[in-house]
Structure 1
Amino acid sequence: MRSMTVVWVLFGFFVLSHSAAAAEGCVSCHKEATPGVVADWQASEHSKEDVGCADCHGSEHTTKHDIDRAKLPIVETCAKCHEDQVKQYRSGKHSIAWAAYKAMPTTHQLPSALTDGHKGCGGCHKIGEKSEEEVLKLKQSGSHFGHAACDSCHTRHLFSKEEARQPQACQTCHMGFDHPQWEMYESSKHGVRHKLKQLRIIPEHASAPTCQTCHMQDGNHEVRTAWGFLAVRLPLPEDEQWQKDQVTILQALGVLDPDGQPTDRLEVVKAADVARLDQEAFNKERNKMIGACSQCHAKDFAEAELAKGDDMIRRADHLLAEAIRVIAGLYRDGVLSKPEGYAYPFPDLLTFHDAPRPIEQKLFVMHLSHRMRAFQGAFHGNPDYSLWYGWSAMVRDLTEIKDMAEELRRRHSG
């Protein structure tokens, strides 16, 4: 037994020494070619643990003339050492981000620089897992980097756990037009207090939740919420009006047909697991969130605040559903022709800015920008976003859509 142990110790020493020696060879050139990369790696835990360049990039690239032989890390690369974290990641929404945006009709209308070139949607959705074949295809198209997914939060080549624990790690993607979680959080009391902690104005032990406190409890990389991204779920609400409104929204999302029956899009949603499709799944995520809130607040307070978020969805849904029905009525009455490519006699909320006319464009903004702000502002403790950028904007959207519809009907009848 002792001799076998000695063998394994010596073998491990040989592997680490070989890895370290190989890394030294890479460093000698890359100090000139990419000094920032070298500096980050040298400051990393990888460097301290003798995880060298070849462990992630392979050993076939040895000179400036064979750069194309360097392997690009993918999720499987990270899984060799971080099996538990990768398993958690694969159970959550981040892992399907690439597939989700590829499934959007509008994605394929965009310039390639914005998609596969990562200068638009692809810049954040690249956090989703891709096969080796997809990575190779992207490489051949000129999009060489950023396919490992883990490096979206643990920025290469430092791969810092401490960096990924900061709310700013989420900022690049969770901001802007359709999901301004960063702006909401940063100006909420939670975000303000955390910034004051970072500035050392309030004590280190002061309560100041980060994005990770609520959405990555105990470091779990799953990252899942009760309502999901678009705040649609099954079973439908018991409230009769809300149920009708959610059915209308689901029809405009193309996951229910005009008779309320499931479509192929619903199968995509199920496969991607981006929405909670039964009460048990919803309750599981809601209870996890109540647990996070209860670290600082009374449980009944947490439950009441989350219930207000639910109610904000209910009220926002009523505005959005009314707007959808106004435009669907124009299609039904022949005032507007149903756009080519729309499978059902409803405006397609997933066509985004490719919607053909101003009235449908207004609905797109109402749905993906203003409705998101209305309910996400409530859940993220930001009253200004929930009211002025959300609810108020939706009320104005509906007024404009009704006015535009009346004008279109006048022109049609005249």
Structure 2
Amino acid sequence: LDDDGRPTARTWPNSGMGNLYPDGSTGSCVACHTRHRFSIEEARQPAACASCHLGPDHPDIEVYENSKHGQIYATEGHEWRWDSAADAWEPGDYRAPTCATCHMSGIGKLSTTHDISERLYWNLWAKRSGVRDSDDVMSPLLGDGPEGREKMKQVCIACHGELHTESFFHQADAAVRLYNEAYWDPAKEMRDELEAEGLLKENPWKDDFQITFYHLWHHEGRRARHGAMMAGPDWAHWHGFFQLQQSFYKLEEIHKTRMATGQIEPGPPKGMSGDH
């Protein structure tokens, strides 16, 4: 704030839903409810989330569009009821959930929430996914994962059977563990070995290993996890695990060569000096 207590251009206007403000308030409402109308109908639309949740690293709107939920919304969403009260928007008003349905809406005995991670079991954006188990607001594992999973299951069971719901999460959890154990863990081990031997460039963005390592978790790994957990099959497989596999093989080859030669860059052929 300036000397008169007015916001400065360095920090305002903004649309960060997790912001902390000088008066103690949190979140920018206009991230979902645009100015002047402050419409609940507008905030319930998937497009309200697409300003941030898109692109190569967390393509959530694209995953949603790839899912059957998104396809149903695309074909008939204009016919649904969007103006029900905050705690009364239930299946029947809509035939498939939007982002707000799963993460925020009051369904059955669930209360509405603006804590969009409240119903989440895993942290899916981190380098390695962990189960939420922290009360530290600065922790990436903020929340109670098991309790959040039970809440999310209530959302699913409002439309799906219990067997369908339980089996879906069994499969999705297996995909997250596959990423953790078959891709992230061994990739991190290779990186640590290269670092210990001084075989990483100081500037990571000029280092093929470090660039590929970054994409493995930040792009492909997130896409695989988000696709699996949000029922977007093409994102889970072709944009996710298939590309994870390609990056992992590339990391293996670079690691093998550097460890064998003790060099970051390939040296000159045997019998030739660097001058040639």
Q: If the length of structure 1 is used for normalisation, what is the TM-score?
A: 0.52
- CA distance in 2 between counterparts of 1:152 and 1:196 reads 26
Q: Alignment partner of 2:262: what SS?
A: helix
Q: Deviations over 1:98-119 (max 9, x none)?
A: xxxxxxxxxxxxxxx9xx679x
Contact kept? 1:319, 1:398, Cα under 8 Å: yes
Q: Alignment partner of 1:272: what SS?
A: coil
Shift of 1:282: 1.4
Aligned to 1:282: 145
Aligned to 2:57: 178
- CA distance in 2 between counterparts of 1:325 and 1:319 reads 10
Q: Deviations over 1:221-246 (max 9, x none)?
A: 121121134332367xxxxxxxxxxx
Shift of 1:200: 3.9
- CA distance in 1 between counterparts of 2:163 and 2:42 reads 33
Shift of 1:177: 2.3
- CA distance in 2 between counterparts of 1:304 and 1:166 reads 28
> Equivalent residues in 2 for 1:78-157 (5 A)?
126-132=16-22, 149-157=28-36
- CA distance in 2 between counterparts of 1:180 and 1:359 reads 24
> Equivalent residues in 2 for 1:312-323 (5 A)?
312-317=175-180, 318-323=182-187
The one-letter code sitting in structure 2 at the alignment partner of 1:232 is: G
Aligned to 1:270: 136
Q: Alignment partner of 2:37: what SS?
A: coil
Verify: 1:232 aligned to 2:130, yes or no. yes
Verify: 1:194 aligned to 2:65, yes or no. no
> Equivalent residues in 2 for 1:197-276 (5 A)?
197-200=76-79, 205=93, 207-218=95-106, 219-224=112-117, 225-228=120-123, 229-230=125-126, 231-233=129-131, 270-276=136-142
Verify: 1:307 aligned to 2:170, yes or no. yes
Aligned to 2:271: none
- CA distance in 2 between counterparts of 1:205 and 1:299 reads 21
> Equivalent residues in 2 for 1:344-359 (5 A)?
355=205, 357-359=207-209
Q: Deviations over 1:303-352 (max 9, x none)?
A: 11011111101111121211111121112234336x59xxxxxxxxxxxx
Aligned to 2:213: 363
> Equivalent residues in 2 for 1:9-88 (5 A)?
71=6
Shift of 1:159: 1.3
Aligned to 1:324: 188
- CA distance in 1 between counterparts of 2:95 and 2:77 reads 12
| Deviation beyond 4 Å, 4+ runs, structure 1 | 68-73
Residues 150 and 327 of structure 1: CA distance in aligned 2, closer, same or farther (over 3 Å): same
Contact kept? 2:122, 2:132, Cα under 8 Å: no
Q: Which runs of 5+ in 2 are unaligned?
A: 81-91, 107-111, 268-276
Aligned to 2:43: 164
The percentage of counterpart residues that share the same residue type is 27
The one-letter code sitting in structure 2 at the alignment partner of 1:377 is: G
Residues 123 and 306 of structure 1: CA distance in aligned 2, closer, same or farther (over 3 Å): farther
Residues 152 and 384 of structure 1: CA distance in aligned 2, closer, same or farther (over 3 Å): same
Contact kept? 1:355, 1:361, Cα under 8 Å: yes
Shift of 1:72: 5.4
Shift of 1:197: 2.0
Q: Alignment partner of 1:179: what SS?
A: coil
Aligned to 2:245: 395
